[in-house]
Amino acid sequence: MELLTPGTGLLFWQAIIFFILFLVLSKYAWKPITESLREREKFIEDSLDSARKAEEELINIQKKNEDLLNEARKEREKILSEAKKLSNSMKDDAKSNAKDMADKIIEDAKKVIEAEKNKAMNDVKNNLAELSIDIAERIIKKDLSSDSSQKKYVEDLIKEINKTK
C-alpha cells in the first residue's frame, strides 16, 4: 500500500516544484500566451466584423445589381417601345409614299393617255380634213350637172375610201 500513499517529502517537493513551475510559467509563459490569446481573440473579432461588413456590402451590391437590372429592363422596354413606334412610323411613311407614288403614276398615265387621245383625235381630224379636201377637189374637177350623177359619184367615192382603209 505504500505505492498508493505518497510520502510527505514527496508532497513537499512536488508542491515546491509546482510553485516554481507556476512562477516561471506566470513570468515567462502566461503573459505571452494570454497576449497571444487576446491577439487571437481580437483577430477573430476583427475577422467577424470584416465578414459582417463584407456581407452587408454584398447585400448592398446585390441590391444595386437588382436595381441596375430593373433599370436595364426598363430601358430595354423603352428602347423596344421606341423601336416599335419608329417601325410603325416608317411603315406608315412607306405606305403613304407608295400611295403617293401610285397616285402620281396613275395621274401621269392619265395625262399620257389624254395626250395620246388628243393626238389620235387630231390625226383623225387631219385625215378627215384631208379626205374632205380630196373629195371636194374631185367634186370640183368633175362636172356634176344632175342630181343622179352627183349621188352616184358620192357613192363611188365612199366605196373607194372604204377599199383604201
Q: Please state, for a pLDDT cut of 70, what percent of the chain lies above it.
A: 92
What is the DSSP code (8-state) at residue 165?
Answer: -
| pLDDT, average across residues 147-157 | 77
H or E element: which one contains 153? helix 147-164
CA dihedral 66, 71, 72, 74 (to 10 degrees): 130
Among 52-61, 67-76, 101-110, 131-140, which stretch is predicted with the lowest mean pLDDT? 131-140
Rounded mean pLDDT of the chain?
A: 87
Residue ranges covered by each domain of the chain: 22-164
Q: How far is Cα 69 from Cα 5, in angstroms, rounded to an integer?
A: 80
Distance between start and end Cα atoms, the chain: 165
C-alpha span between 39 and 49 (Å, rounded): 15
Q: Per-residue confidence at 119, pLDDT binned at 50, 70, 90? A: very high
Residues 23-48 have a mean pLDDT of 89
Q: Which residue has the higher pLDDT, 155 or 6?
A: 155
Tell whether the model's pLDDT for residue 50 goes beyond 80: yes
Q: Cβ(54)–Cβ(62) under 8 Å?
A: no
Give the phi and the psi of residue 118 in degrees, each rounded to 5: -65, -40
* Helical segments of 2-146, H only: 8-24, 31-141
pLDDT band with cut points at 50, 70 and 90 for residue 129? confident
Q: What is the pLDDT of residues 99-117, one digit of tens each?
A: 999 999 999 999 999 999 9
Mean pLDDT of 52-80: 95
| Amino acid type, 11 | L
pTM above 0.75, yes or no: no
C-alpha cell, 35 = 497576449
Most confident region among 27-36, 85-94, 122-131 by mean pLDDT: 85-94
From residue 111, give the alpha-carbon distance in Å to each of 16, 85, 121: 135, 38, 15
